[in-house]
Chain A
Amino acid sequence: VRNVPREQKKIMNHENNACEYDDRRDELFVAYLYDDDAAGRPDDAETGERALFAAHLATCALCRRELAELRAVRRQLAEWTPPQPLGPLTTWTTMSAANSPRRVRDRLAEIPAWAQVAAALLLLAVSARMANLQVRYDASGLSVQTGWRVPAQPAAILTSVPEPAGEGWRAELTALEERVRAELRTAASQPQASPSTTAPGDVLQRVRRLIEESERRQQRELALRVAEVRNEIEAQRQADLVRIDRTQRALQQETGLEVQRNRQMMNYIVRTSQTSQR
């Protein structure tokens, strides 16, 4: 029908009691419907056509009525709200944030100093092993050698370190080890301060709040259910009344017919008896 001439279409529309605007009527209608709500801010560049359509509206009762109806539809649509989600929608938010470099630094800052020292020592030891690290501490001072290639006689080099001179760095390492152990013992003996000391009061309050919230919700839910049941009963009552009314009318109709039939019969009998008497 797209190829049907405009005049012919107008005649068809007129015969069908439909609007006689041109092919773009639906589009212009929608543009008018929504622009109207945008407080004079046109949604697209059809302001000229909009003015034309506005002029058409002034003369077309069908379009005016349809516009009013579609506005009513839009008002009903505005009533549709999705259920409010309980809790956060994107649970991975914190995960992704925790993986960011800044958060990693933050978390490192929370690790105790002794653990950081231990980790550093472990890393140092592993690195030294991997890099063939050789440390000498002798009269000429501390000397460090490293290299990925295995030296020809590593054992000889290591044993060539004079025993008395080695005492110094060993003593330092031992002292460091003792210090780390002491810090470890201190950390282990300290009670888990923050959560356990503040927990009971906070937890109690939170539990109380949760219970109150749950009770409120249950009460509201119950009230809603009661109201719903009441509505259903009312609807059922209305339906029953309509059914009773319908049945009653049918009965009345049947009774009326019966009465009419009896009356006709009586009339017939009376007429017959009168005829026989004559």
Chain B
Amino acid sequence: MTWTDEELVARSIRGDSDSFNQLILRWERPIYALAYRTIGREEDARDVCQETFLRAFRALPAFRGQAKFSSWLYRIALNLCRDWIRRERRAPVVQFPEDVDLSELAAATEPAESIEDLVARRDMTRTVERAMAKLPEDQRTAIILKEYHGLTFQEIADLAGCPLSTIKTRLYHGLTVLRRELAKSGVLTRGEKRPARAEEDHESREQRLRV
């Protein structure tokens, strides 16, 4: 029988550690992915993932279920990522230690995939990571939560503690920066690339509105 998150949380609060283990198995990958995409370092993402569940376990009796369990976990993980970024005093750096990257890429992919595809995919991943690293933290977080975790605008707004409209604006600006960065890297094809004149116009429009 598959329990819902809420049921597993209730059982965990009553002392059933197996239920909490099930919650971990269900959510550790998404939390790790969130942490990795936010801070860009695998080892630190692992630490954040572990610390997230440790904190969640300790704080479980205080969880009243006002938000979804997943949103609660995301909040803990994002706070930890924010702490990490501040502690490191720098923007998230996407690091690709060659050895780790290649072996893990090889281990993570299906044997059917050709080497050329693997290399192309890795290049694409690098390009996207570099572009994402250019974004301010709030825009990056909004895009990660929307694109990779499928949260609604309202859920992201609740997590970030800001109005719905702010989240949409962050998403829009973030995607616009990404479009520019990806176009610079030559990832977007010629047909997908916005003409320089129009892009410049749009940015100047944004600047004017911000004044």
Residues of A at under 8 Å CB distance from B? 1-2, 12-13, 16-19, 23-24, 26-27, 29-31, 33-34, 43-44, 62, 65-66, 68-70, 72-74, 76-86, 89-93, 96-97, 99-103, 217, 220-221, 223-228, 231
Cβ A102 vs Cβ B102 within 8 A: no
The A interface is mostly helix, strand or loop, or mixed, namely helix
| Contact flag A81-B125 (CB < 8 Å), given A2-B209, A26-B172, A31-B153 | yes
A19 to chain B, nearest CB (A): 8
Per-residue contact bits, chain B 94-129, to A (CB 8 Å; 1 contact, 0 not)? 000000111111111000000110110100110111
* Residue B45 lies at the interface, judged by CB distance under 8 Å to chain A: yes
Cβ A220 vs Cβ B197 within 8 A: no
A3 to chain B, nearest CB (A): 10
Cβ A90 vs Cβ B28 within 8 A: yes
Cβ A1 vs Cβ B210 within 8 A: yes
A41 to B17, CA, bound (A): 37
The B interface is mostly helix, strand or loop, or mixed, namely helix
| Contact flag A30-B15 (CB < 8 Å), given A89-B46, A224-B105, A227-B115 | no
Residues of B at under 8 Å CB distance from A? 15-18, 20-21, 24, 28-29, 32-33, 36-37, 42, 45-46, 49-50, 53-54, 57, 100-108, 115-116, 118-119, 121, 124-125, 127-129, 132, 143, 146-148, 152-154, 164-165, 168-169, 171-173, 175-176, 178-179, 182, 187-189, 192-194, 197-198, 201-202, 204-206, 208-211
User: Which residues of the partner chain B approach A93 to less than 8 Å between Cβ atoms?
Assistant: 21, 24, 53
Q: A-B pairs with the 10 shortest C-beta distances?
A: A220-B106, A84-B108, A100-B17, A82-B36, A27-B168, A72-B192, A26-B172, A80-B128, A227-B115, A83-B104
A89 to B26, CA, bound (A): 12
Point out the residue from B21, B107, B124, B176 that lies within 8 Å of A217, measured CB to CB: B107
A226 to B116, CA, bound (A): 10
Nearest chain-A residue to B116 (Cβ)? A227
| Contact flag A23-B192 (CB < 8 Å), given A44-B152, A225-B102 | no
Determine which residue in B20, B116, B193, B202 has the highest number of CB atoms from chain A within 10 A of its CB, and name it: B202
| Contact flag A83-B154 (CB < 8 Å), given A17-B198, A44-B164, A89-B49 | no
Q: List 15 A-B contacts (CB under 8 A).
A: A30-B171, A76-B124, A77-B128, A77-B143, A79-B125, A80-B37, A81-B125, A82-B42, A85-B32, A89-B46, A89-B49, A90-B49, A91-B50, A221-B103, A224-B105
A73 to B179, CA, bound (A): 6
B34 to chain A, nearest CB (A): 9
Cβ A86 vs Cβ B104 within 8 A: yes
A73 to B121, CA, bound (A): 15
Cβ B175 vs Cβ A70 within 8 A: yes
